[in-house]
Amino acid sequence: MVTENSAVPDKSLLAQYLPANYTDAYSKEVSGRDETTPEELMQAIFTHPSPLAGALMKLRNILVKPFGLETGSLEKQVANRILCRSDREIVIGMNDKHLWFAVSLLCAPKNGGSQRITVTTIVKYNRALGKAYFFFVRPFHRLLVRRSLEKL
């Protein structure tokens, strides 16, 4: 089961980038399999996105191209965007004209052989266009993060 929270997890590398205009965190406890690494989680979410995520990115790219915003595949957009990492977390960030965002992929072992996987997003608006843009993106962001975690 995927749970939602609005706070950055304790001791997350993402905390150094706060405060933010928007924060969300989704997590899921997984057990009965090998531990997932942050790199594996990054590949699952960004390198091999779901068909829905791919279709939404194509639509987004068509809509934002006239505004001069960065376009391309999810994989292209996160390549070389790692801000920091540890053995259990990767933080990916991107700055565009309208907003700055960072995503933390945290894979924390728990007692009893299970693991808590948490995907946290923070967004900072660079200007009014960023706030308007994220207003329309937010429902899809929430849906896609939840679905990505449910697949684990």
SS3 category, 50: coil
Query: Which pLDDT tens digit goes with each residue over 68-84?
Result: 766 665 666 666 788 99
Q: pLDDT tens digits, residue range 31-71? A: 877 888 999 988 888 777 778 877 777 887 787 777 776 66
Domain assignment of residue 101, given as a range: 2-150
Total domains in the chain come to: 1
